[in-house]
Structure 1
Amino acid sequence: MSLHRGPTDLFHGADGKEVKTTVTAMNTFKTIADNFKNVNDVTKALQDAGVKNCGLIFGIDYTISNRMQGQKTFGGRSLHDISGPQMNPYQQVICILGETLEVLDEDRQIPAFGFGDVKTKDRDIFPLKEGIFCDGFNEVLDFYNKITPTVQLSGPTNFVPLIKEAIDIVKKTKKYHVLVIVADGQVTNEKINQDVIVEASQWPLSIVVIGVGDGPWDSMKEFDDELPARQFDNFQFVNFYETVTGAHNAYAALALNALMEIPEQYQLIKDHALLKK
């Protein structure tokens, strides 16, 4: 399945300006103005910051709430429904962010995992492609399409096993990674998820969570803007439906909001010498 479809195949979302926060070396918050107007500006900022070889990791939420979370935002269908002519939100995010970030990944080897199904529940993750990483975002999409009809949804929602796996990948590869988690709702145990996000800030890893479905998203916003114990603000939350609904260019709107903080995050990673770990 290709990304190149008409704009009516994508939801469209609001372009509201937000002020984000990050943590300085003195562990105090400072505001980050959203100064970028388009994806090219962000890409240039990434290049100016020295991001040349960036790994990409995908995580897909297979909790049972996906069946109900499309009541308002996906025509009442399961968010994992792949039977219709329109791409579901998971497929759209894989295409948009996969294509945007893949240009920064020299080897194009993308670890992609599912979590929250009947086998892993909140304790583990499973690879979309057994044994080896996916070769580019198109293969991530192909394997998502292949396995999704066979996955039994369960839960509860827990990012901890996925974030710990991402930390292990960073340790092994010794390079900066962006972990993209596509999820339909709140985590069940906020405390353990907060702790692992703080732990992840000790490593050259950015976490971008794309919230698909109806929400609510209160804890995701808290993870984004609070948790001052972190070395740096390593977590960005984007509400998929709000971002792309009404946007002139839904593709650019999602990519822009997802990547907005990464240039400064990467600079802070260098400032804290996390790449040398």
Structure 2
Amino acid sequence: MENANKWQANSFTSKLELSISCRNLINADLISKSDPQVVVYMKDSFRGDYFEIGRTEVIDDNLNPDFVKKIAVDYNFETVQNLKFEVFDIDYGGSDFLGRMETTLAEIVANKGSEFVRPLVGIPNRECGVIIINVEEVSTCNNIVELDFRGREIKKLGWFFKPHPMLAIWRSNEGGSFSVVYRTEYRSYSSNPIWSRIRISVKDLCNGDYDRNLRFDCMSYQSSGDHKLIGSFFTNLNDLLKNKKPQTFKLWNDKLKAEKGFVELTNIRMEERFSFLDFIRGGTQLHFVVAIDFTASNGDPKSIDSLHYFDPVYGKPNSYEIALRAIGEIVQYYNDNGYFAGFGFGARIPPNYDVSHEFPLNGNPAHPYCQGVEDLVANYRRTLSSVTLYGPTNFANVINSTARIASQYQHGENYFILLIITDGIICDMPQTKRAIIAASSLPLSIIIVGVGNADFSAMDELDSDDKLLSIDNQKAKRDIVQFVEMNKFLNGSRRSVISKAQLAKEVLFEVPEQVVSYMAMKGIKPVKRN
């Protein structure tokens, strides 16, 4: 009966994605226009606090942005899900608040029109513009489509200069509106541009509906953000796939009532994409590696203010132990032997008390494994009592070490998750970037959990959700890093977690997609088991 009730409760849950646009935003910049980003929060039903569930990309110099990045959310019919949308102007070194809108997910879902439109508020005596939301249930289609486009004879918009053409792809919504799903780079002063290959999931392109109307806008890029429409054409994925030969589309500008050139589809390829569960059911094992920050900036472990402090009276865990348990208790089920490799860094270690940036928590370099979460925590506590906290905060050693292990298992049977728990700013950022880029072709994900009150803004450089990490003309093959700030999930005293489930969800959110992206990159298919 218990299992039946669980199934019944889950049967009313749907995966939704929110497409977001804004109009007439406040201009917070003096020379240019605002660079908006929308951050979406959901209210915790028990504590009443809001926690972040996602954020869009930043669009430069645009008061009327249409965001490509969608916000994924679970919709529960039986639950009131309060949402808050906040818009910020993102500038170097800071941000300006542009307005907010609060509603419920049910109100968005039940909206009778094709678009949910509400005013932004929050700045006294100012009209902040409006926010526009389209909601749609997410398809389970996992296939990937690759498209190669080039332009031909694209006309000038004025008398003198050739355009800077780029392509924007929009998918239709109910009611006739469109949501943008992809933008290419632009080509400077070109009437015959060749754009880089578009690689996009069918789910993102048309939500699994191959007959859904798609609009392709050829725009002339403007540094002001006010891109000019050259012309458009309409098609759908089925029609694109039917024709094996290159296809040519006329660009029509309805406002000018004129033909403005051509766009050619020179190649299209459909790739079967498997899910995370396909690989797990096929036998892929997840291996959990932990690296704990033992630098002096954590504070004396005997002091109540230390991030490594254990309460001897009430036995309340510190932030490091909270993170270890929350994540380890989930990951342990995806590995048959239950072993976790555990390391520390940034301490002077016995017997000579030399500084080490990678030492085993169990004291055994030949076999640095702990049997389960409890053994991992016990070895962490033992290590804390035997080393001297020191520094600096270097990540490259543990990343390179884990990468060397992962490089020996590249056939799909094994995948590694490196959890780095740290209190401070990275001291070897260039070396860490190079290590991550080198590891991006391996079966490895890196999760960085920041504890304490340090400024973690530099971590955003590593968590490359919007563009792949690069340094010295080297570029990552895929995004493998997720950064989470621990304080968002702790109560006021910082001694207990508000929601262990929410913390684990945030920390592990990107892992399934990272596993799938590795398998796709290597052309690995899941093993079929009876």
Equivalent residue, structure 2, for 1:195:
434
- Distance in 1, matches of 2:442 and 2:489, equals 28
Structure of higher CA gyration radius: 2
Change (3 A) 1:194 1:16: same
Equivalent residue, structure 2, for 1:81:
309
- Distance in 2, matches of 1:241 and 1:224, equals 18
For residue 155 of structure 1, what is the amino acid of its counterpart?
G
Instruction: Please tell me whether residue 94 in structure 1 is matched to residue 324 in structure 2.
Output: yes
Instruction: Please tell me whether residue 235 in structure 1 is matched to residue 271 in structure 2.
Output: no
3-state DSSP of counterpart to 1:270 = helix
Which of 348, 365, 373 aligns to 1:137? It is 373
Shift of 1:93: 0.8
Equivalent residue, structure 1, for 2:342:
112
Consecutive unaligned residues of structure 2, counting only runs of 5 or more, are: 1-47, 58-67, 77-274, 526-530
CA RMSD of aligned residues (A): 3.1
Instruction: Please tell me whether residue 127 in structure 1 is matched to residue 360 in structure 2.
Output: yes
Equivalent residue, structure 1, for 2:458:
219
Equivalent residue, structure 2, for 1:54:
286
For residue 15 of structure 1, what is the amino acid of its counterpart?
F
Which of 199, 208, 227 aligns to 2:447? It is 208
Check conservation: 1:203, 1:274, Cα contact below 8 A: no
Change (3 A) 1:248 1:170: closer
Consecutive unaligned residues of structure 1, counting only runs of 5 or more, are: 1-11, 22-29, 39-44
Instruction: Please tell me whether residue 19 in structure 1 is matched to residue 251 in structure 2.
Output: no
Deviates most, 254-263 or 112-121? 112-121
Instruction: Please tell me whether residue 151 in structure 1 is matched to residue 379 in structure 2.
Output: no
For residue 259 of structure 1, what is the amino acid of its counterpart?
L
Alignment of 1:25-40 (within 5 A): 31=69, 33-35=71-73
Shift of 1:35: 3.9
Equivalent residue, structure 1, for 2:513:
264
Check conservation: 1:211, 1:240, Cα contact below 8 A: yes
Aligned length: 247
Check conservation: 2:322, 2:497, Cα contact below 8 A: no
Change (3 A) 1:173 1:118: same
- Distance in 1, matches of 2:393 and 2:354, equals 8
**TM-score (structure 2 length as normaliser):** 0.43
Shift of 1:275: 6.7
3-state DSSP of counterpart to 2:289 = strand
- Distance in 2, matches of 1:212 and 1:248, equals 12
Equivalent residue, structure 2, for 1:251:
500
- Distance in 2, matches of 1:76 and 1:242, equals 20
After superposition, the C-alpha distances for 1:19-50 in whole angstroms (9 at most, x for unaligned) are 378xxxxxxxx846444579xxxxxx742554
**TM-score (structure 1 length as normaliser):** 0.79
Check conservation: 1:244, 1:254, Cα contact below 8 A: no
Shift of 1:126: 0.3
More helix by share: 1
Check conservation: 1:114, 1:125, Cα contact below 8 A: yes
Check conservation: 1:114, 1:127, Cα contact below 8 A: yes
Change (3 A) 1:152 1:167: same
Which of 399, 423, 435 aligns to 1:163? It is 399
- Distance in 2, matches of 1:274 and 1:192, equals 29
Shift of 1:124: 3.1
- Distance in 1, matches of 2:291 and 2:70, equals 27
- Distance in 2, matches of 1:184 and 1:121, equals 21
Change (3 A) 1:46 1:112: same
Give the % identical residues: 27
Which structure has the higher relative contact order (CA within 8 Å, separation 6+)?
1
- Distance in 1, matches of 2:69 and 2:354, equals 37
- Distance in 2, matches of 1:271 and 1:151, equals 43
Shift of 1:102: 0.6
- Distance in 2, matches of 1:194 and 1:121, equals 26
For residue 442 of structure 2, what is the amino acid of its counterpart?
W
Change (3 A) 1:183 1:106: same
Check conservation: 1:13, 1:244, Cα contact below 8 A: no
Check conservation: 2:276, 2:516, Cα contact below 8 A: no
- Distance in 1, matches of 2:497 and 2:362, equals 35
